[in-house]
């Protein structure tokens, strides 16, 4: 495996630097501590350019784990049709229902105003992110990065979640940890519904967009899911100036 040590090396290859404090600290620390204690593989829903997926594969090799990482993505960006719960107006409904704080609502409004000024157009779910609609990737690009680093513990599952998240396709029978980084309402709900029965007791689901200034559907889907499933929703310890970071623990 290619060894990366300096920030610039991780940056050039667009790989998350798991060797220092960052946004996925809870997830990577959990895997470090429990890879030999809790059964199951790792799942990532929403791979994009492989930044965190490849980092997890590198960590597993580094700690001598035989676990695999399964990456689910269409590798072509957002789907052509969005759910109404992904509309940016849904943030106002969350605020009115007291499902987000005053500070969160203020930050959402500020983010939209600034994005509108910078982009000189009306912002919506397909352009609110600095990555746009996440179409600047493809399967071969991610494979090249994996091959360059020399990883054999990553399984890429290509296609829409509605097709790939079915019983008969390639998916681990047991899941130790999962990263939800798929932004949208339907994708969050599909992933949680499919993988929750496979998540082992004590396993964790890192919710990358539960606190988001861009994608309200992720929080809505998670809250809806928890109305009919038992999971402990927790906020991670924050770094200086960091966003809120949330994750689920399966009892």
Distances from the Cα of 14 to the Cα of 19, 48, 50, 143, 239, angstroms = 14, 11, 8, 13, 21
Give the pLDDT confidence score for residue 166 in this predicted structure. Answer: 83
Residue 185 contacts residue 217 (beta carbons within 8 Å): yes
In 3D space, the residue among 190, 179, 168, 174 whose CA is nearest the CA of residue 52 turns out to be 179
In 3D space, the residue among 214, 218, 217 whose CA is nearest the CA of residue 246 turns out to be 218
> Which residues constitute the domain of residue 31?
7-80+134-249
Residue 144 lies in a domain: yes
Residue 168's pLDDT band, with cuts at 50, 70 and 90, is low
- pLDDT, mean over the chain: 95
Residue 128 lies in a domain: no
Residue 95 lies in a domain: no
Residue 117 lies in a domain: no
Give the pLDDT confidence score for residue 36 in this predicted structure. Answer: 97
Taking residues 137-151, what's their average pLDDT? 97
- Say yes or no to pLDDT of 153 above 90: yes
Residue 85 lies in a domain: no
Q: pLDDT tens for residues 51-71?
A: 999 999 999 999 999 999 999
Count of structural domains, the chain: 1
Q: pLDDT tens for residues 198-219?
A: 999 999 999 999 999 999 999 9
Give the pLDDT confidence score for residue 24 in this predicted structure. Answer: 95
Residue 18 lies in a domain: yes
Give the pLDDT confidence score for residue 49 in this predicted structure. Answer: 97
- Say yes or no to pLDDT of 239 above 90: no
Residue 127 lies in a domain: no
Residue 153 lies in a domain: yes
Give the pLDDT confidence score for residue 237 in this predicted structure. Answer: 82
Q: pLDDT tens for residues 114-141?
A: 999 998 989 999 999 999 999 999 999 9
* Residue 107 structure tokens: 């930050």
Residue 195 belongs to domain with CATH number? 3.40.50.150
């Amino acid at each position: 495996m290619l060894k990366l040590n300096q920030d610039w090396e991780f940056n050039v290859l667009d790989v998350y630097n798991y060797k220092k404090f960052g946004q996925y600290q809870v997830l990577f620390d959990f895997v470090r501590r429990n890879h030999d204690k809790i059964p199951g593989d790792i799942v990532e829903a929403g791979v994009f350019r492989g930044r965190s997926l490849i980092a997890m594969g590198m960590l597993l090799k580094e700690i001598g784990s035989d676990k695999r990482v399964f990456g689910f993505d269409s590798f072509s960006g957002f789907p052509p049709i969005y759910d109404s719960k992904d509309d940016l107006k849904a943030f106002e409904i969350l605020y009115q229902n007291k499902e987000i704080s005053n500070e969160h609502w203020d930050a959402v409004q500020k983010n939209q105003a600034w994005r509108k000024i910078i982009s000189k157009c009306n912002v919506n779910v397909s352009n609110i992110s600095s990555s746009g609609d996440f179409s600047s990737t493809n399967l071969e690009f991610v494979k090249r990065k994996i091959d360059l680093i020399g990883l054999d513990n990553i399984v890429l599952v290509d296609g829409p979640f509605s097709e790939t998240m079915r019983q008969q396709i390639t998916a681990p029978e047991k899941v130790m940890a999962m990263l939800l980084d798929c932004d949208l309402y339907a994708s969050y709900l599909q992933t949680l519904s499919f993988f929750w029965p496979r998540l082992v007791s004590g396993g964790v689901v890192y919710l990358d967009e539960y606190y988001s200034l861009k994608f309200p559907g992720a929080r809505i889907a998670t809250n809806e899911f928890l109305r009919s499933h038992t999971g402990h929703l927790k906020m991670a310890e924050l770094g200086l100036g960091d966003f809120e970071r949330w994750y689920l623990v399966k009892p």
